[in-house]
Structure 1
Amino acid sequence: MRAEDLLPDNVNQGEFNGVVVRKGSVGAFLANAKLRTDPTRSALERATAERHIIEALPALRALGLFDALQIRDEELRSFVEVH
Structure 2
Amino acid sequence: MRAEDLLPDHQNKFQFSDGTIIRKGTVGAFLVNAKVWCDPAADPAQRAVAERDLLDSLPALRALGLFEVLSISDDALRDFVERH
TM over 0.5: yes
What pairs with 1:3-82 in structure 2 (closer than 5 Å)?
Answer: 3-18=3-18, 19-82=20-83
Post-superposition offset of 1:32: 0.2
- Provide TM-score, normalisation by structure 1: 0.95
Q: Distance in 1 between matches of 2:26 and 2:43?
A: 23
1:46 partner letter = R
Amino acid at match of 1:13: K
**C-alpha separation between the residues in 2 aligned to 1:16 and 1:2?**
19
Residue 15 of structure 1 and its aligned partner are, at CA, apart by 1.7
AA aligned to 1:32 is N
**TM-score, normalised relative to structure 2:** 0.94
Question: What amino acid maps onto 2:56 in structure 1?
Answer: E
Share of identical aligned residues, percent? Answer: 58
Structure 1 unaligned segments of length 5 or more: list them. none
Structure 2 runs not aligned, ≥5 long: none
Which runs of structure 1 show a deviation greater than 4 angstroms over 4 or more consecutive aligned residues?
none
